[in-house]
Amino acid sequence: MLELRNVSAGYGAFQALFDVSLRVDAGEAVAVIGPNGAGKTTLLRVISKLVAASAGDILMEGRRLNDLEAHRVIDLGIAHVPENRRLFPRLTVEENLRMGAYAPAARARFAERLASAYALFPRLAERRDQPAGTMSGGEQQMCAIARGLMSGPKLLLLDEPSAGLAPVVVQRIFEVVRRIRGEGYTVLIVEQNVQQVLKVVDRAYLLEIGRIKASGPAAELGASGEIRRAYVGL
Amino acid sequence: MQVFDVFLLEAVLNGLLFGGVLALLALGLNLVFGVIDVVWICYAELIMIGMYAVYFLYAVYHVPLPIAFAAGILLVSVCGVLLHVLVIRPVLNTEPINQLLVTGGVLFFLQAAATLAFGVQFRNLGLSLPSLALGEIFLPYSRIFAALTALVAMVALYLFLKKTYLGTAIRAISQDRQIMPLMGVNPARIYVITSAIGGALAGLGACLLVLQYDVHPAIGLSFGPITFLVCVLGGLGNMIGGFVAAFIFAQFISVGGFFFHIEWGYVMAFVFFIVMMFVRPQGLLGRKQ
């Protein structure tokens, strides 16, 4: 579904990604793990065109994304749930979800998707008229994921959904990721919580200082001594 | 004593009517600032363009007034878009002072251009609308019409911002512009649309003012500063705050003018403004930075 071929990218003189190649097949859940500052967030931002690739190709279902404007990416079925949730704090929960359905194709199915978002996250239904910024971190993350689903994406990009949340909430977030997979979405997730994320994905890539250092099935990567020592803390 | 009270009531009612128009003027400026983060220093000069447009169409070319109004609103709306695309967009990502300076430059340009093109004389539509008599109170219909129209326009804008996808995006972009593309929103397009709406509000303000006041090249000075003060008092970019502040200012001017002299009304309004800037520097309903 999604393929990156030898992608490099950065901000001005600072290069964040070097020659990164990765693939996500339809129906898969894939994680990109690695330490802070490895370039994980940049990787997702390159896919959604918030950051331009300086070299290499980005392909979604065979279509090259490189020259696409950022606001057109969602039309290809890619939804990006950004780092730190980035809800519109003074819009209500429901208005945030409406923004997720802004693309013309999504507007026609707003009511239907709103109902399924509230079915998936009953808490959001209770808080639909509350400003999003007044909710707890966990609720905000649910809302951010729900907003991403409102466009009816084929591929969902999740950036650090567990960051800054209490352990019990982190459990719930990964449970949500598992359920989203179950509903047939393809997921590319970036995480620092390596131990948890490897339980819910099929495959993973290890990104270090902007380069892919290792990749493979989640179970295999999780079992590798090096990764266990460095990232799982066992 | 009885007569005194009636005239005081008249002053209060006139203040309410003036407040409605002032609120409309503040709304356009607040909308643009809230969304694009740029202050249109030349906002009142856009209103001047609209007033001249309506004047020439109606009084010189004898176009029916409603059509002259529609044309005036459309023209100022286009001016708002041109201002954004030609003047503001090139300096949008530079220091904020540059944006103030360029729109300030446009202010002097428009004043000078109007003086050159139309001369310094005062012009008016030559309409004399009757007044509504409520006992001993007389309220000009032009003021009543202006206040009601302003109110309708504000309600319409509120519903647009609250109920439509585009309106929601206009509110959202001021809260987090970087992630707007992730929603499928092109920020540049939202800015152009916001500028068009801001211009249309200035154009509507022009239609309502030209019913009551003469137009001349410096007319912007009569409405520009007070519109800015209303916006700042309410909390710059806060549309509800601007609405409240407009009515407070209008009452100071109208009632203060009743007790003393109209100029004293302005002095009291500005003194109140200065005191409030010490008490609540973020504005009445502004958010703390």
Q: In this model, does residue B164 exceed pLDDT 70?
A: yes
**ipTM, 2 decimals?**
0.92
The residue of chain B with its CA nearest to that of A90 is B175
What pLDDT shows up at residue A223? 80
Please judge whether A99 and B168 are an interchain contact, meaning their C-beta atoms are less than 8 angstroms apart.
yes
From B237's Cα to the closest Cα of chain A, the distance in A is 14
Strand ranges of the sheet holding A186-191, from the earlier edge strand across to the other edge:
A78-81, A155-159, A186-191, A29-33, A203-208, A211-217
Write out chain B residues lying below 8 Å of A95, CB-based.
168, 171-172
% of chain A with per-residue pLDDT over 90: 82
State whether B184 and A90 contact (CB < 8 Å): no
Chain A positions in Cβ-Cβ contact with residue B168 (cut-off 8 Å) = 91, 95, 98-99, 102
Query: What are the phi and psi torsion angles at B222 (to 5°)?
Result: -75, -30
The residue behind tokens 């360029």 is B102
Nearest CA in chain B to A70: B181
Q: Tell me: the pLDDT tens digits for B266-283?
A: 888 889 999 999 998 888
A70 touches chain B (CB under 8 A): yes
Please answer yes or no on whether B181 and A99 come within 8 Å at the CB atom. Answer: no
Domain ranges of chain A: 1-76+194-234
Q: Are A58 and A7 in contact (CB under 8 A)?
A: yes
Answer yes or no: is pLDDT of A67 > 60.
yes
Q: What is the DSSP string of B153-188?
A: HHHHHHHHHHHSHHHHHHHHHTT-STTGGGGT--HH
> What pTM did the predictor assign?
0.91
Using the Cβ of B178 and the Cβ atoms of chain A, whether some distance falls under 8 Å is answered with yes
Q: What is the pLDDT of residues B13-39, one digit of tens each?
A: 999 999 999 999 999 999 999 999 999
Instruction: Categorize the per-residue pLDDT at B1 as very low, low, confident or very high, splitting at 50, 70 and 90.
Output: very low
Which class for B240: exposed (0-12), middle (13-18), buried (19 or more C-beta within 10 A)? Answer: middle
| Contact at CB, A82 and B179, closer than 8 angstroms | yes
- Rounded CA gap, B4 and B7, in Å? 5
Which positions in chain B touch A103 (Cβ < 8 Å)?
183-184
Mutate to test the interface with B, among A102, A114, A134, A158 (most CBs of B within 10 A): A102
One-letter identity of residue A153:
P
Tokens 């100071």 -> residue: B252
Q: What is the mean pLDDT of residues A114-137?
A: 95
Q: Give me the residue from A86, A98, A151 closest to B168, CB to CB.
A: A98
Q: How far apart are the first and last CA of chain B?
A: 48
Contact A48 B185 (CB under 8 A): no
pLDDT digits (tens, 9 = 90+) for B194-247: 999 999 999 999 999 999 999 999 999 999 999 999 999 998 888 889 999 999
| Biggest CA pair distance of chain B | 66
Angstrom distance (rounded) from CA B97 to CA A187: 44
The pLDDT of residue B109? 97
Average pLDDT over every residue of A77-89: 96
| Selected residue of B35, B175, B183, B192 to mutate for chain A interface (largest A Cβ count, 10 A) | B183
The CATH architecture one would assign to domain B2-279 is Orthogonal Bundle (1.10)
Identify whether the C-beta of residue B142 lies closer than 8 Å to the C-beta of residue B129: yes
pLDDT grade for B4, boundaries at 50, 70 and 90: low
Q: Judged by CB atoms within 8 Å, which residues 38-57 of A form the interface with B?
A: 48-50
10 Å Cβ neighbour count for B92? 14
Give the integer Cα–Cα distance in Å for B236 and B247.
16
Q: How far is the C-alpha of A159 from the C-alpha of A47, rounded, in Å? A: 12
Q: Which of residues 73-112 of A touch B (CB under 8 A)?
A: 73-75, 79-80, 82, 86, 88-91, 95, 98-103, 106-107
Q: What is the pLDDT of residues B177-188, one digit of tens each?
A: 999 999 999 999
Q: What is the DSSP letter of B288?
A: P
Show the tokens assigned to B163: 């109920």
Mutual angle of helices B187-210 and B141-163, in 10-degree steps: 170
- When CB atoms are compared, the residue of A86, A91, A107 closest to B179 is A86
**What confidence category does residue B60 fall into, taking pLDDT thresholds of 50, 70 and 90?**
very high
Which own/partner contact pairs does B150-155 have at CB distance under 8 Å and 24+ positions apart? Answer: B150/B20, B150/B21, B150/B23, B150/B24, B150/B204, B150/B205, B150/B208, B151/B20, B153/B24, B153/B201, B153/B204, B154/B23, B154/B24, B154/B27, B154/B243
Residues in chain B closer than 8 A to A107 (CB atoms): 165
Question: What pLDDT digit, counting tens, does each position of B74-121 carry?
Answer: 999 999 999 999 999 999 989 989 999 999 999 999 999 999 999 999
Which chain A residues have a beta carbon less than 8 Å from that of B181?
48-50, 69-71, 73
Mean pLDDT, rounded, for A182-211:
93
Encoding tokens for residue B192?
């152009």
State the average pLDDT for chain A.
93
- Could you tell me if residue A212 is left (phi over 0), alpha (psi between -120 and 50 degrees) or otherwise beta? beta
Cα–Cα nearest to A207, from A190, A184, A219, A229 = A190
| Structure tokens belonging to residue A150 | 């409102």
User: Cα(B171)–Cα(B237) distance, rounded to whole angstroms?
Assistant: 11
Digit-coded pLDDT (tens) for A142-177: 999 999 999 999 999 999 999 989 999 999 999 999
Q: Where are the domains of chain B?
A: 2-279
- Chain B touched by A11 (CB under 8 Å): no
Beta-strand pair A211-217/B131-134:
unpaired
Query: Confidence band (pLDDT; 50, 70, 90) for A110?
Result: very high
Contact B89, B181 (CB under 8 A): no
Judged by CB atoms closer than 8 Å, whether chains meet at B169 and A102 is answered as yes
H or E element: which one contains A54?
Answer: strand A53-60
Q: Domain spanning A1-76+194-234: which superfamily?
A: P-loop containing nucleotide triphosphate hydrolases (3.40.50.300)
CB contact under 8 A, B184 and A103: yes
Cα–Cα distance, B165 to A102 (Å, whole number): 6
* Residues pairing with A58 in the sheet: A4
